[in-house]
């Protein structure tokens, strides 16, 4: 099974903080850097280029969700940035996901770059069964909802999903063998869950079949981000079961 180096969520407020983390994390194997809404809305493509210049692969996590034409046009722009992964909300429907996939691949082709992997958001790891029913008014179970979104995303041309590691095995029951499962909600043993609800350790994520894990606060808020990353990387990629 394809596994990627851990993705480190650079969820900080300033460019200086981000650059400091970029410079600290230039270790081997390199993490993939996840750049999200806060940094991108503030600094735009400049922050992507700053990370790329240091040799990092980029997961640009903007979670597009709009009418199909708007998403297609936005993805055309993102496809030209040379990032490796980006995201779209499966809840936008199959037409929107298909339009996003087409725009992303067309944008990359226009500048002679490989297309980024498109990951569809299923249910956020801050959502639990109670919120699914009482707030979203979804009659399916959480697992059934995630499976439904995964099937929809694959059929519409997405390369994988973002999901809880707890749901990977059920997603594999309804998708093809190369469909990616990228899992946030990762916390080392005894770390605080904070606002995450469906969490697992790096080793558990590996055992459950995650292709990649996303880790933020346990690394970027650590006194030694490099040491924290290396331990998580070892637990996910190298530790014996």
Q: Which of 93, 13, 22, 95 is nearest to 53 (CA)?
A: 22
Distance CA 40, CA 153 (A): 25
| Band of pLDDT at residue 44, cut at 50, 70 and 90 | very high
Domain at 7-238: CATH code: 3.20.20.70
CA distances 168 to 8, 81, 129, 143, Å, are 20, 29, 17, 10
The SS3 of residue 215 is: strand
Mean pLDDT of 28-33: 94
Ranking 88-97, 117-126, 169-178, 225-234 by mean pLDDT, the lowest is 117-126
- Supply 38's token pair: 């806060």
What mean pLDDT value characterizes the chain? Answer: 92
- Supply 157's token pair: 């041309």
Mean pLDDT of 16-33: 96
pLDDT at 192 over 60: no
Mean pLDDT of 184-196: 66
In the prediction, which pLDDT does 127 show? Answer: 77
Catalytic residue list: 63
In the prediction, which pLDDT does 146 show? Answer: 92
Share of the chain above pLDDT 90, in %: 80
Q: What is the pTM of this model?
A: 0.92
pLDDT at 103 over 90: yes
| Band of pLDDT at residue 191, cut at 50, 70 and 90 | low
pLDDT at 128 over 60: yes
Assign residue 240 a region (left: φ > 0; alpha: ψ between -120 and 50; beta: otherwise). Answer: beta
pLDDT at 22 over 90: yes
| Band of pLDDT at residue 196, cut at 50, 70 and 90 | very low
| Band of pLDDT at residue 190, cut at 50, 70 and 90 | low
| Band of pLDDT at residue 239, cut at 50, 70 and 90 | low
Q: Which of 76, 75, 4, 63 is nearest to 33 (CA)?
A: 4
Share of the chain above pLDDT 70, in %: 95
Q: Which of 133, 142, 134, 180 is nearest to 161 (CA)?
A: 180
Residue linked to tokens 């519409």 = 156
Structural domain boundaries in the chain:
7-238
In the prediction, which pLDDT does 129 show? Answer: 82
Distance CA 117, CA 155 (A): 15
Mean pLDDT of 56-60: 98
């Amino acid at each position: 099974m394809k596994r990627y180096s851990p993705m480190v969520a650079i969820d900080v407020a300033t460019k200086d903080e981000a650059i400091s983390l970029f410079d600290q994390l230039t270790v081997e194997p390199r993490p993939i850097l996840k750049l999200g809404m806060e940094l991108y809305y503030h600094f735009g493509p400049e922050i992507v280029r700053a990370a790329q210049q240091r040799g990092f692969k980029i997961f640009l996590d903007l979670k597009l969700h709009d009418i199909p034409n708007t998403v297609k046009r936005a993805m055309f722009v993102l496809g030209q940035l040379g990032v490796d992964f980006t995201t779209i909300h499966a809840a936008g429907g199959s037409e929107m996901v298909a339009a996003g996939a087409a725009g992303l691949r067309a944008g990359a082709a226009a500048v002679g770059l490989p297309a980024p992997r498109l990951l569809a958001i299923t249910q956020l790891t801050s959502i639990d069964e109670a919120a699914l029913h009482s707030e979203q008014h979804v009659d399916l179970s959480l697992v059934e909802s995630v499976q439904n979104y995964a099937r929809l995303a694959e059929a519409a041309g997405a390369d994988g999903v973002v999901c809880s590691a707890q749901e990977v095995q059920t997603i594999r029951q309804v998708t093809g063998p190369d469909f990616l499962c990228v899992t946030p909600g990762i916390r080392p043993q005894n770390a605080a869950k904070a606002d995450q609800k469906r969490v697992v350790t790096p080793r558990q994520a590996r055992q459950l079949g995650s292709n990649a894990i996303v880790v933020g606060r346990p690394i970027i808020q650590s006194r030694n981000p490099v040491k924290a990353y290396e331990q998580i990387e070892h637990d996910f990629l190298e530790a014996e079961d």
